[in-house]
Amino acid sequence: QVQLVESGGGLVQPGGSLRLSCAVSGSSVSSYAMGWYRQAPGKQRILVATMARDGSTSYVDSVKGRFTISRDNAKNTVYLQMNSLKPEDTAVYYCNRPRPYSLSWGRGIQVTVSS
């Protein structure tokens, strides 16, 4: 069974940075595209960053220039570097394969941006 475990979240002030990690077991991170989703209270889960198998990336407009998705094949881990954080970035963040290859959702990790 493929498992996805997010870590690295927490409380940060506006303008600060966090780096989220997604440890993958049971599959290689390079075998499929990988993405980061987030879900704020009362809102739908949305895909904010994607890395294709060839390493190309894409982002939702609201995080372009601030977030960077990357992977370390040797560690079988996907990362999301988040800079210049804003209160509207507050959400539970999840890693997963983008549709149609998505897996069961993990617990996610809370990111709170507040002063």
54-84 confidence digits (pLDDT tens) = 999 999 999 999 999 999 999 999 999 999 9
Q: What is the pLDDT of residue 72?
A: 97
Rounded to the nearest 10 degrees, how much is the dihedral formed by the CA atoms of 36, 18, 63, 84? 180
AA identity, residue 96: N
Kindly report the average pLDDT of the chain as a whole number: 97
H-type alpha helices, the chain: none
Closest CA to 95 of 33, 4, 19, 30: 4
Q: What is the pLDDT of residue 55?
A: 95
Across 10-27, average pLDDT: 97
Q: What is the pLDDT of residue 60?
A: 98
Q: What is the pLDDT of residue 109?
A: 98
Q: What is the pLDDT of residue 9?
A: 96
Tokens of 24: 């993958």
